């Protein structure tokens, strides 16, 4: 009811049905547009381009920040506040010797592993060449 106590005009069943059908059509059209946008922007090529762009941008930013931090020509108090804790902790770890020993052990293990992989792949290649040579001989 309105302010004048007159009954509002009610929607007929046919009008309700028509309104619902129009809303449904609008909803379907919106879903179709969304699908087209997703297909256009979330394909493998677009995702790869976006990922590469983000990675390169972050790498450039990190490199700029890192190189700016160690640029001693324009040394400021803010740079010293960021740089000195890194230097002090690095010197402390190297002074203990445990870090240096750990790094040497890690390098030795990595070297042994790389050497073992090299010899295993070399033996496999030699075995495959012998196998091919036997088949060629027959």
Q: At what angle do helices 44-69 and 77-96 cross, to 10 degrees?
A: 90
Q: What range defines the domain where residue 110 resides?
A: 97-138
The answer to whether residue 110 sits within a structural domain is: yes
**Whether the Cβ atoms of residue 69 and residue 83 lie closer than 8 Å to each other:** yes
Whether residue 74 lies inside any domain: the answer is: no
pTM for the whole structure: 0.31
For 88-112, how does the pLDDT look when each residue is reduced to its tens digit (9 = 90+)?
776 676 666 666 677 777 888 888 8
Q: Does some domain include residue 80?
A: no
137 lies in some domain: yes
- Whether 27 has a pLDDT exceeding 80, the answer reads yes
In this predicted structure, the answer to whether residue 19 has a pLDDT above a threshold of 90 is: yes
Q: How far apart are CA 106 and CA 102, in angstroms?
A: 6
**The pLDDT value given to residue 1:** 47
In a domain, 107, yes or no: yes
Residues 36-94 have pLDDT tens digits of 988 888 777 787 788 888 888 887 777 776 666 666 666 666 666 776 777 777 667 66
Q: How far apart are CA 70 and CA 90, in angstroms?
A: 15
Q: Quick check: is 6 in a domain?
A: no
Sign of CA dihedral 51, 52, 53, 58: positive
Residue 51 tokens read as 């990922």
- Please report which residue ranges of the chain form alpha helices under DSSP H: 13-41, 44-69, 77-96, 98-137
Structural domain count of the chain:
1
């Amino acid at each position: 009811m309105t302010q004048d106590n007159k009954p509002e005009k009610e929607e007929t069943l046919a009008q309700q049905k028509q309104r619902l059908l129009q809303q449904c059509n609008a909803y379907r059209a919106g879903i179709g547009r969304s699908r087209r946008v997703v297909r256009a922007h979330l394909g493998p090529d677009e995702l790869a381009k976006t990922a590469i762009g983000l990675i390169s941008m972050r790498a450039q930013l990190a490199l700029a920040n890192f190189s700016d931090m160690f640029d001693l020509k324009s040394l400021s108090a803010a740079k010293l506040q960021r740089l000195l804790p890194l230097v002090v902790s690095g010197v402390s770890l190297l002074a203990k010797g445990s870090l240096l020993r750990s790094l040497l052990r890690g390098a030795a293990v990595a070297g042994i592993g790389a050497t073992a992989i090299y010899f295993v792949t070399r033996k496999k290649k030699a075995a495959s060449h012998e196998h091919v040579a036997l088949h060629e001989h027959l």
